[in-house]
Homo-oligomer: A and B are copies of this chain.
Amino acid sequence: MTEVHFNKVAIIGVGLIGGSLAMVLKAKGLCDTIVGIGRGKENLETAKQMGLIDEYTHDIAEGVQGADLVVLAVPVMSIEGVVKRAASSFKTGAIVTDVGSVKEEIINTVTAHLPEGVHFVAAHPIAGTENSGAEASVKDLYVGRRCIITPTDKTDKAALDKVVKLWKLAGSEVVTMDAREHDIILAAVSHLPHVIAYALVNSIADAGKGMERDVISYSAGGFKDTTRIAGSSPDMWTDICQMNKTALVGVIEGFQAELEAIKVDIEADNTELIKRSFERAKKVRDSLKK
């Protein structure tokens, strides 16, 4: 197994995801120095005091100079702007990687701006907590979690190998797949449930409008579980919806067809069909852990 070691790592966006990766790099001795790049001074100062990074800058072009690994850990919609500003400063031979929850669009965007000889490896660690910012970083965030890496025909094999090893060293189960496949899977198991949760809360709020009573106050555990993720960041989820538009619209339409079929069966008193549909769902759901 090739040794994984970087002289200088630049982490753009030292939040929960970037900061926790910095912890891994430090703890495993995978690099000599880490520079944190971001806009908020307070967060970067915290990161430095926590020992996640050795130094920081607000200047992206300056920060990436000489780095042999650059981690794009900013919100997905900010990636293009960041890469544009860094493009002419990347070291030849540098590896650029990301942590975004959408892959095809990011690959297209990033590779369009990267100079010859700079290698992009797209990655998505499926991890997170309810907290954010550098101070939320934890060293075992990635342990036992999947990290999906989505190489293309053009991905540099040595760079891919290093990024795979990095995530394995972080404790992740690394899965390699096509970017489009990643986007469909994530649209299904993550992006669609978020859109549904937001839509459900709004439709209940609407249903209650004509009533004197506070309809939502009658909600019990089921509604609360089902809509918990409607408390997620509207900015982040708006971005993801935009970036993963094609796959997301596809799974929304699959869901719409399923719901419409149940509605039609309810209207037509097709109780056997309704029951079979519910039984099928229960069987699948019961196969997952709580």
Chain A residues near B (Cβ < 8 Å): 126, 128, 146, 177, 181, 184-186, 188-190, 192-208, 211, 213, 215-216, 218-220, 222-232, 234-235, 237-238, 241-242, 245, 248-260, 262-263, 266-267, 269, 271, 274-275, 277-282, 284-290
Contact = CB atoms under 8 A, between A and B. Distances in A.
27 contacts: A189-B204, A190-B219, A192-B200, A194-B222, A197-B226, A198-B277, A198-B282, A199-B281, A203-B254, A203-B258, A204-B284, A206-B254, A207-B250, A216-B287, A224-B288, A224-B289, A224-B290, A225-B226, A226-B227, A228-B285, A231-B286, A232-B282, A242-B266, A242-B271, A245-B269, A249-B263, A249-B266
Contacts of A181: 211, 213
Q: Is the interface of A mostly helix, strand, loop or mixed?
A: helix
Contacts of A224: 288-290
Q: Which of A146, A184, A223, A290 has the most CB of B within 10 A?
A: A223
Given A193-B226, A284-B205, A215 B185 contact: yes
